[in-house]
Chain A
Amino acid sequence: MSDLPVQHPGADDEVAELFARFIDQQLDEAGHQRLEELLRQDPAARERCAQRLLFESDLKDAIQPSELEWLETRRVVMARRDGRPAMEIQRSQELRVGPRGRIEGSTTTKKKRRLFVVTGGIAAVALGIAAGFFVPRMIHTRGVPLLRNAGFETTDLSLNPTGNTSALIDWQDYFTSGDVDLCEIARVSQGKIYAKSGRNVARMKGGAYLTQRLRDKNGNPITARPGARYLLTGWVYTEGPPPHILRTALRVVASSRPAMIQYEAVHQQLTLSPDPGWQPLHIEFDLGENLERTPSDTMVDLRPVLNLKDRELTLSIDSRGNPASVFYLDDLALEVNGEVPR
Chain B
Amino acid sequence: MAHSLSLTNSPDRLLAAGGENALAGQDADRVRRFSEYWQLSQRSVRAYLASFVPDGSLLDDCVQEVALVAWKKGPLEEGDQAFLHHALACARHIGMAARRKFHGSRLQLLAPDVAESLADAVAAQERPASSEPTDRVEALRHCIGKLSPDQQELIRMRYGDESANALSEEAKRAGKNLLTLYKRLERLRSLLRECVTRQLSPPA
Contact = CB atoms under 8 A, between A and B. Distances in A.
B117 A40 contact: yes
Contact of A123 (B13, B68, B133): B13
A148 B116 CA distance: 38
Could you tell me the dominant secondary structure of chain B's interface residues?
helix
Interface in B101-138: 101, 104-105, 107-108, 110-111, 113-114, 117-118, 121-122, 124-126, 133, 136-137
A61 B137 contact: yes
A197 B1 CA distance: 7
Nearest to A218: B13
Interface string A31-62: 01001100110010011011101111111111
A123 B133 CA distance: 36
Interface residues of A, number: 94
A175 interface: no
A113 B47 contact: no
Interface in B68-126: 68, 71-72, 94, 97, 100-101, 104-105, 107-108, 110-111, 113-114, 117-118, 121-122, 124-126
Interface stretch (A95-103, A233-241, A263-271, A310-318): A95-103
B161 A64 contact: yes
Contact of B1 (A20, A32, A198): A198
A63 B42 contact: no
A289 interface: no
A63 B159 contact: yes
Interface string B3-26: 111111111111101011001100
A54 B1 contact: no
B26 to A, nearest CB: 11
A68 B42 CA distance: 12
Given A39-B117, A197-B1, A184 B101 contact: yes
Interface string A71-99: 01000000000000000010101010111
Given A39-B118, A49-B121, A59-B155, A124 B11 contact: yes
Given A89-B20, A114-B61, A158-B3, A26 B190 contact: no
A151 B43 CA distance: 31
Given A8-B190, A98-B64, 8 more contacts: A1-B148, A2-B191, A54-B44, A55-B193, A58-B137, A59-B155, A97-B64, A123-B11
Task: Please list the 5 inter-chain residue pairs (A to B) with the smallest Cβ-Cβ separation, ordered nearest first.
Answer: A198-B1, A156-B4, A50-B121, A53-B47, A116-B64
16 contacts: A24-B158, A36-B114, A50-B47, A54-B43, A60-B55, A61-B42, A61-B43, A62-B140, A63-B156, A95-B71, A97-B38, A97-B64, A116-B64, A123-B11, A158-B101, A200-B4
